Structures are given as C-alpha cells and as structure tokens.
Amino acid sequence: MPTVTYLEAIRKGLWEEMERDPDVFLMGEDIGRYGGAFKVTAGLLDRFGPQRVIDTPISEEAIVGAGIGAAVMGMRPVLEMQFMDFISCAFNQIVNYAAKMHYRWGQAVPLVIRGPSGGGVHGGPFHSQNPEAYFAHTPGLKVVEPATAYDAKGLVKAAIRDNNPVIFFEHKFLYRRIKEDIPDEDYIVPLGQARIAREGKDISVISYGAMVHIALEAATRLMNEGLDLEVVDLRTLYPFDEETVLNSVRKTSKVILLHEDTRTLGLGAELAATISEKIFDSLDGPVVRVTAPDSPVPYSPPLEEQFIPSVEKVMEAVRGLAAY
C-alpha cells in the first residue's frame, strides 16, 4: 500500500471518481493550470482536459449556481472553494437552493463543495475559519470533515457518489502533515459513520478533523497519569453518528466535546444537548466543551496558538472532569 499525505489522498479520490464516472467534473478558481491554491488538483487538467477541470472566475456564487444547474441536469460536479471562508459568498445558493430541491420536488442534487478550512497556518481571520456549523444546521445538506488520509480518500469518493449535496471540509493544517498507507483498490468510507480512533474507559473525547489528532496526543500523554481516554472521530458532522457517540459515553460516563470552531452554537452544543436528552442517567459529570473562544481567528501567531484548542487545554479539561 502506498504512503500518501492527506492532500494526496483527496487527489487520488477525485482522480479515481473521474476515471470511474464521466459525469464527474471539477470547477473552481485556479484549479486547472495552477493545480489549486494547495495543489490538490495538480495533474488533473493534463489527464482529463479543460472540459472536466474548469477554471472559473472569482465568484463563489457563480461557481455554486453553475454547479447546481449541472447537478440537476445529471452531472456530478465537484466545486472547490479556494478557502472555505469564502463559501459564505454562495450561502444563498447552497442553503436555499441545493439543500431544498429534494424536499420541494424530489430533485437529486449530486453536488460536492470542497476546500480547505481551519487554522494553524497563521492565515488570519479570512483564511482560517471553521464554518461547518452553519451548514450542519441546514436540512438537506451533508457535512463531512475527515481526520486521516484513509478517510479523506474514502469520504470524498462517497460524497461524489451521493445524490445529495455534500459540504466537504479539508483541514489545511493536515494537508501535508498527515501521512498514511492507503490501499490502491477502490473503497469508500460511508457517510454518517463515526469511528473509534482510540479505545478507552475513563472519558470519551468526541471530535473531528485536526482536533482528533490533538485528542489522540492528549490521550497518549495522559496515560502517564493513569487516565484512559476514548477518542471518537465523527467523520460526518451532519448527520452525525448518534449511536456511536452515545455508546461511547455510556461506556465511560464522562465526555469532552472538542472542536476548533468557536464555542457558542458550535457542533459541541448540539452534541451536548443530544447526550443530555438521550443518556442523562449515564453521565457521572457535566458535559464539557473544549473549543475556540467566540472571536475571529487572530493573525498573530502567538494569539492564534492561544485561540486554537491545544493538547494542554484538553489535558486540563480531562483532569478537571476526572476529578469531578
């Protein structure tokens, strides 16, 4: 099995789906000749040509509007946002059109909108956001954020094959830092299924994307203190795998909800409500959130390091909850 980065795994997934299905095509800013801002689509123009790897004007609303039209006509467009921060420019197209077409008249919209999100690279407030909660709140959309190279490839392939619009977040901090052996043969990771990234018995940490690796590092370091964390990687944020989350919390009786997005009304709030409503009697302590503060992402490297949840912050939360 070849060892590939998170970024290369996404490229492989796109490549394989374009080989498999001639209706799959790509649109986005600078994705063709330039290969994308982070080079995710490098080489695809040479293989598939300008009819299937289409450079667009700098207009996210136009990209998504054209993609929705193509999807309604039976194509399977994959649209790149150069940075997911700018997906807000196409918010109306996504939440009022793509998300509602099936509800309104049964129309499939096999559309994927993908691109880099998250901080850790000192990109400032317009290139470091985690806007997943806006879309996880919208019925009709599916929202995905992989943490590993294996999942990045398997989930992007599953998203392309899905007949619903999928928002696919790729944490840019992981692009070249995460490497993994993945099989050459065709595989998908089903949407809506979480994974247990680490088995444990004391406290469950529920997370996704780059924060899964923060949770795993904290778990390794806390073993020296006799604390055994279970780490759940959601993979799909909406619809999230309620069964896996609840079973993990039943097992440990204590839970920390970890995400890089800001705190108020983030995904952790929905998870906390679900856990409290469904298995309150299983809890031996409060549901704890470890998140970014309610602030734009700072540009200053020291401030950004304080803003993003760290291993140390997770460890501090674990110690406090363990002692409860």
* CA distances to 246, 247, 255, 308 from 282, in Å: 10, 10, 11, 30
* 3-class SS of residue 30: coil
Of the candidates 8, 52, 14, the residue with the CA atom closest to the CA atom of residue 157: 14
Q: What is the spatial distance between Cα 88 and Cα 116, in angstroms, rounded to a whole number?
A: 14
Q: Which of helix, strand or coil describes residue 73?
A: coil
Cross-strand bridge partners of residue 4: 180
CA atoms of 115 and 129, how far apart (whole Å): 12
Q: Which residues, 6+ apart, have CB-to-CB distance to 166 below 8 Å?
A: 111, 112, 113, 141, 142, 143, 144, 159, 191
Q: Which of 102, 122, 127, 171 is catalytic?
A: 127
Instruction: Measure the CA dihedral 26/61/86/46, to 10°.
Output: 20
**Alpha helices (H) along the chain:** 6-20, 44-48, 60-72, 91-93, 101-105, 132-136, 149-161, 211-222, 242-252, 267-279, 301-307, 311-322
Angle made by CA atoms 297, 230, 157, in degrees to the nearest 5: 65
Tell me if 26 sits within 8 A of 76, measured CB to CB. Answer: no
Give yes or no: 127 in active site.
Answer: yes
Catalytic residues: 127
